[in-house]
Structure 1
Amino acid sequence: MNQSAPLACEELVRPLDQLDPLYLEGKWALVAGSLSHLPYLEKFKQRDSATVNFFKNTSETNIFYTRSIFLGNKCQYSSYNISLEGSSFTFDGTDKSNLTANFVHKSCHGCMLMHMNVESGKRQHFYLFSRRRELEQKEMEEFRTQMECLNMPPPAVMDPIKELCPEKRASVPAAQTEEKTKGQKD
């Protein structure tokens, strides 16, 4: 029995020890993602593109970002406040026992991995974002291996030539809470 495989998986899906909030600032394009709940994964595959845009914050623990999804020739925007602790984060206003989330170790330069466990692991979401729209084959292979380590379906990969939504400049974060999407955070 090969003992190195579990250790390799453990390293591949290890949460970051600490995340520099400055690293997050700016726009990130969704490159690929997977959801363990197949109906949500099918819905996820319908989007043409998606981005997250993290804004400069005055706090190192409270971070504001907007999400855009290009679906059916329309852009959908939502805004979130998250509380950061190390590499773990919670969405403000959500039941912390219902959702755990963290940023995951990655070897891909200019990439960001978000892993979310919903309802004590009943549902997982794993997203790969990058400053680049298209990644090298070895970077995508690592992401696919991470999906296998988490026993998740193969990822849906975004088409890098599909249009991104134009940036929607956020105003005061407190005023954006009305745009929050209740429930699923896909």
Structure 2
Amino acid sequence: MFVAVCAIALLCFVSVSHSAPLACEELVRPLDQLNLRHLEGRWALVAGSLSHLPNLERFKQRDSATVNFASNTSDSAISYTRGIRLDNKCMYNSYNISLEGSSFTYDGTAQSNFSLNFAHTSCHDCMLMHMKVQSGKQQHFYLFSRRRELEQSEMEEFRAQVECLNMPPPAVMDPTKELCLEETAAAQTDVKTEGQKN
């Protein structure tokens, strides 16, 4: 009887140990195909993890961040603008990217040491970006959403995904912090402000 119990316990342990990597493989799998129409528009950064700890500490200092994907007629190329609010100031960077399935590469040589793909998430209005830097020596994993704050179960899924990648616990953005305006709106606001000064 004791031998039978030990054998069953051993079988249970083996099946659990084999299922854990498969669960991680499923949790962090890249999307099969990216829908560009789903991508278009503005996304707020909800949380992120960076494998390089000094970069993670700098990441935690930002108040908020957004990415805004332009509408595009091309099936394989799109541009986006990143807006970061830090110390009550907004900084913008624009990028052109080429898509291949769920992965994309940056156009131009400045970003050639980056590779990026969109990963699966069960959150219906979320976007997961998994970036590998310097041939995979560093990883960045970002969760964006149309909402500023997600359900607990959605955040738990993201934390599990981060853990599967052996990355530090994610930094979560404060949803009460103001987002940067879209760059065109910010430029118009700056022009109005300059006009009022003169």
Report the TM-score, using the length of structure 1 for normalisation: 0.88
Deviation at 1:125, TM superposition (A): 0.3
Q: Is residue 151 of structure 2 the alignment partner of residue 136 of structure 1?
A: yes
> d(CA) in 2 for partners of 1:94 and 1:106?
30
The letter for the 1-side match of 2:146 is: R
**Count of residue pairs brought into register by the alignment:** 170
Q: Is residue 145 of structure 2 the alignment partner of residue 124 of structure 1?
A: no
Q: Which has the higher contact order (CA 8 A, sep 6+)?
A: 1
The letter for the 2-side match of 1:13 is: V
Detail structure 1 runs of 4+ shifted over 4 Å in the superposition. Answer: none
Task: Indicate which of 145, 160, 172 corresponds to 1:145.
Answer: 160
> d(CA) in 2 for partners of 1:146 and 1:23?
22
* Structural mapping, 1:88-99, within 5 Å: 88-94=103-109, 98-99=113-114
> d(CA) in 2 for partners of 1:120 and 1:56?
30
Deviations 1:49-70 (A, max 9, x none): 0000001112111101100000
SS in 2 for 1:40: helix
* Structural mapping, 1:151-170, within 5 Å: 151-169=166-184
Q: Residue 18 of structure 2 corresponds to which residue in structure 1?
A: 3
Deviations 1:28-49 (A, max 9, x none): 0000001000000000000000
> d(CA) in 1 for partners of 2:68 and 2:111?
23
Tell me the percent identity: 76
> d(CA) in 1 for partners of 2:88 and 2:113?
33
The letter for the 2-side match of 1:130 is: S
* RMSD value, Cα: 1.3
> d(CA) in 2 for partners of 1:97 and 1:68?
21
The letter for the 1-side match of 2:171 is: A
SS in 1 for 2:184: coil
8 Å CA contact 2:27–2:120 kept in 1: the answer is yes
Deviation at 1:93, TM superposition (A): 1.1
Q: Residue 95 and residue 67 in structure 1: after superposition, are their counterparts in 2 closer, same or farther (change >3 A)? A: closer
Report the TM-score, using the length of structure 2 for normalisation: 0.83
Q: Residue 23 of structure 1 corresponds to which residue in structure 2?
A: 38
Q: Which runs of 5+ in 1 are unaligned?
A: 171-186
Q: Residue 72 of structure 1 corresponds to which residue in structure 2?
A: 87
Q: Which runs of 5+ in 2 are unaligned?
A: 1-13, 186-198
The letter for the 2-side match of 1:133 is: R
The letter for the 2-side match of 1:132 is: R
Deviations 1:122-150 (A, max 9, x none): 00000000000000000000000000000
